[in-house]
Amino acid sequence: MLSFVLAESGLELVPNELWRKPAVAADARRRGKEPGGILLDRSFHHSAMAGLREAEKRGRPDLVHAALLSVTGAPLYLEGRAEVLVHTSTGMVVEIAEKTRVPKNYIRFRGLMEEALGGRSEGGLVRARPMGMRELVGDLRPDRVFGLSVLGRQETAEGLAREVASLKAPAVVVGGFPRGHFSKETMAIINELVRIDLRPLEAHVVAARVVYEVEKAEGEFKD
């Protein structure tokens, strides 16, 4: 089974230090929620995020949503041959139970993530807990961890997929952030850093390409 990990993702509830910021307070009021119960989202909270530590990696639940749709809509996932985990830039891991469909509607996705990160979980299908990348990899026990990055060695998505498909329990790590690179903590658990295109691509495009190629390569290994 392939473990697909979105790492250092811009997915979190609004941190305490921003609760009183006008953009956050107004958004929470409009939604009838507490500021600490809503997702940090740069589309709405841009002005409040100035000065926030590592702000460039935070407040992008839309990127996570798009990447999750790419993975969970693919036959590899639907057939139970891949699982998906979201590690966040604030040190949480959101586990999505095998074969769970992620809502296509962003508002429903946001609600689901707000519940999970707030410690509530709809039917136990999506669960969040504090966990770093090292601990996550310790749990998954992959036989090899492939990190996807523009800084990696050049490889085609097909070539990478063939290596991935030849293993029993591979992990593929894609950044769930808009810009910047993997942190030292993430780099420490990656065995191979691979670039599948000269250009920087969106995480959901990388996810879709890798998952599709693994699907094809697994077919070749079965034949």
**What is the binding site for ligand SAM (CB under 6 A)?**
148-150, 174-175, 177-179, 181, 195-197, 199-203, 206
Q: Which of 153, 168 has the CB closer to ligand SAM? A: 153
CB of 4 to ligand SAM, least distance (A): 11
Q: Which of 10, 35 has the CB closer to ligand SAM? A: 10
Can you spell out the DSSP letters for the chain?
-EEEEEEEES--BPPGGGTTSHHHHHHHHHHTS-GGGSB--HHHHTGGGTT-TTGGGSS-HHHHHHHHHHHHTSHHHHTTSEEEEEEETTSEEEEE-TTPPPPSSHHHHHHHHHHHHTT--GGGSEEEEE--HHHHHHHH--SEEEEEEEEEEE--HHHHHHHHHTSSSEEEEEE-SSSS---HHHHHH-SEEEES-SS---HHHHHHHHHHHHHHHHHHHH-
CB of 8 to ligand SAM, least distance (A): 8
CB of 156 to ligand SAM, least distance (A): 11
Residue nearest ligand SAM, Cβ-based = 175
Q: Which of 122, 202 has the CB closer to ligand SAM? A: 202
CB of 41 to ligand SAM, least distance (A): 17
Q: Which of 72, 186 has the CB closer to ligand SAM? A: 186
